[in-house]
Chain A
C-alpha cells in the first residue's frame, strides 16, 4: 500500500504502479493532461517508466477557459 497526494488530495494505491497505469485507472490517459511529480514535469513519453512512490505529490493539469 502506498499513499500519495494527487491534486492536493490523499489517495491510497494497493500496490506501486507507474504514472501511465494511474492515468489509465483515472480514465485520463486519452485526455490532454500534463503531469508534475514532486515539482518536476514528467514528459508524456516517460509516463510508462515513471514509478510512483509513497509520499509522492502529483499534479495533473489540463487546459481550461481563461483570459
Chain B
C-alpha cells in the first residue's frame, strides 16, 4: 500500500479532524497581509492568537486579525500567552469564548518566569482543571516532564503540548528522550509547542512520534517567512511519513549497500 492509496493520515484533536499537522501562531509578522500569506503557505488549519485590551482610539477601518484568519476557514485557537496565574488564564479563555461566539477549543499556557518563559505547572494544573469543568477543550502548553503531561491528560486536556525549548528560542528539541516518553505514555495527541527553529527541528519532532508541531517565531522571524512557512509544511509532512515508515535499525559499524559477491578486482 502506498501513500496515495492508504487511508488519510489525519490529526484528530477531540473529534476535530485536520489534514495538516502543522499548527501556527500569528505573532511577530510585519503586517496582517504577511500573516495571512504565511499561514496560507504553511498549509496550517489550526491558528493560534492572543487576547489583549482593545485600543480605544483605534480607527474602526483598521483591519482586524480575525479578518485575515476567518473562523469559517481556520480552526482558531485562542491562547493565554502572557498569563502568570491560573485566574488570569481562565479569565482570558472566558473572554475568548465570548469573542468567538462560544468556541471552546483553547490553548492554555501559564508562564512561571519571564526570562525563560517556562510554564508554571502548578498554576497550569489549576487552570486546566477549572477550564475542563467550564466545558473548554484544553490544548495545554507544558514542560517536557512526563509526569506533568500525564497529570494534565488525567485532568481531561485534549492535547498535550510540551516545549521543545523555551518559547521563541529556536533551540530545537532539547530533550528528545522526554518528548519520546510523553508520546509513549499519552492517549491524546502530543504536539511540540515552542522551541522549533528550523525545518529539521520540526521533522525531528515528528520523527519522535509527535502528532503535530505548533510554531510561530520560526516562520515569522525567518528572513523570508513565506518560504520558511512552505519549508515547515514539508518538514512536518516528511517527519510524519518518516515516523510512519519506521527508521532503519542503527548500527555502530558500516554495512555495505552493494553486494560483496561478484567483485572483479
Interface, chain A (partner B; CB < 8 A):
6-9, 26-28, 30-36, 39, 41-44, 59-67
Partner of A31, one of B35, B53, B64: B64
CB–CB B94/A41 < 8 A:
yes
Contact with A along B177-189 (1 / 0, CB 8 A): 0000000000000
Q: How far is the CA of A30 from the CA of B62 in the complex (A)?
A: 12
Residues of chain A within 8 A (CB-CB) of B168 are: 67
CB–CB A67/B64 < 8 A:
no
Of chain B, the residue at the smallest CB distance from A66 is B50
Residues of chain A within 8 A (CB-CB) of B50 are: 63-67
CB–CB A67/B79 < 8 A:
yes
Residues of chain A within 8 A (CB-CB) of B54 are: 7, 28, 31, 33, 60-62
- Most B C-beta atoms less than 10 A away, residue of A27, A33, A60, A67: A67
Are A34 and B49 also in contact (CB < 8 A) when A62-B64, A63-B64, A63-B78 are? no
CB–CB B94/A65 < 8 A:
no
Interface stretch, picked from B22-30, B146-154, B203-211, B236-244, is B22-30
CB–CB A27/B60 < 8 A:
yes
CB–CB B52/A64 < 8 A:
yes
Residues of chain A within 8 A (CB-CB) of B66 are: 32, 63
CB–CB B51/A65 < 8 A:
no
Is residue B65 contacting chain A, with contact meaning CB distance below 8 A?
A: yes
Interface, chain B (partner A; CB < 8 A):
24-29, 35, 48-54, 56, 58, 60, 64-66, 76, 78-79, 81-82, 91, 94-99, 101, 167-168, 194, 214-217
Residues of chain B within 8 A (CB-CB) of A8 are: 53
Partner of A67, one of B58, B60, B167: B167
Q: How far is the CA of A27 from the CA of B78 in the complex (A)?
A: 24
CB–CB A65/B27 < 8 A:
yes
Q: How far is the CA of A27 from the CA of B28 in the complex (A)?
A: 27
CB–CB B94/A67 < 8 A:
no
CB distance from A59 to the nearest CB of B (A): 7
Q: How far is the CA of A28 from the CA of B55 in the complex (A)?
A: 10
Q: How far is the CA of A18 from the CA of B78 in the complex (A)?
A: 28
Partner of B51, one of A26, A30, A43, A61: A61
CB distance from B193 to the nearest CB of A (A): 9
A-B contact pairs, 24 of them (CB 8 A): A7-B53, A9-B56, A27-B60, A28-B54, A30-B60, A34-B51, A36-B95, A41-B94, A42-B98, A43-B98, A44-B98, A59-B53, A60-B56, A62-B64, A63-B76, A63-B99, A65-B26, A65-B35, A66-B27, A66-B79, A66-B82, A67-B28, A67-B50, A67-B168
Of chain A, the residue at the smallest CB distance from B102 is A43
CB–CB B99/A32 < 8 A:
yes
CB–CB B99/A33 < 8 A:
yes
Of chain A, the residue at the smallest CB distance from B87 is A39
Q: How far is the CA of A44 from the CA of B262 in the complex (A)?
A: 80
CB–CB A34/B25 < 8 A:
no
